Amino acid sequence: MKFMIVGKANAETEAGTLPSQELVDNMHAYNESLAKAGVLLAAEGLYPSSHGAQIAYSEGRASVIDGPFTEAKELIAGFWLIQVKSREEAVEWALRVPVPPGHEGVGLDVWQVFDASDVPDDSMPVDEREREEALRERLRVDTPDA
């Protein structure tokens, strides 16, 4: 099962404040532990929302809203994509994310990632399943090793 651990933003991350060297070191150690356990698929920090955009749809039309966005508590600062055996294991890994003292209120979300393999074989046409599998295989081949 794949899960995404989403790190919430706060005023500091939205201001673009760089983390302390201690936190950077702790995050590297955490990421290395995920990699050594063979569960890490991806991990990235995100720029503040001032570097982003939102797409809103109304009456069939899309409009682009440029950042920054005002509700920092609803924004994300980074994520980990992991592959584990259960939701409980994903939560266990999320509980190990290093959070520095004084960062109360910063939170994490743990979301299961929907995968084509989660769809029962009889509910997806064979040609559609084959296209999905071919695309995923191509993505694996086209992705350079980190």
Query: What is the tens place of the pLDDT at every residue in 59-93?
Result: 999 999 999 987 766 789 999 999 999 999 999 99
The reported pLDDT for the residue numbered 19 is: 87
Are both 76 and 86 inside the same structural domain? yes
Are both 74 and 143 inside the same structural domain? no
Are both 52 and 84 inside the same structural domain? yes
Are both 15 and 43 inside the same structural domain? yes
Q: Which residues of 105-125 are buried (b: 16+ CB within 10 A; e: fewer)?
A: ebebebeeeeeeeeeeeeeee
The reported pLDDT for the residue numbered 73 is: 65
State how far the Cα of 97 lies from the Cα of 76, in Å rounded to an integer: 15
pTM strictly above 0.85: no
Are both 124 and 91 inside the same structural domain? no
- The answer for 46, left when phi > 0, alpha when psi is -120 to 50, beta otherwise, is beta
Peptide bond into 68 cis (omega under 30): yes
Are both 82 and 103 inside the same structural domain? yes
pLDDT of residue 46 exceeding 60: yes
- Alpha helical stretches, state H, 1-146: 11-15, 21-36, 87-94, 126-142
Are both 124 and 100 inside the same structural domain? no
Are both 80 and 119 inside the same structural domain? no
Are both 90 and 133 inside the same structural domain? no
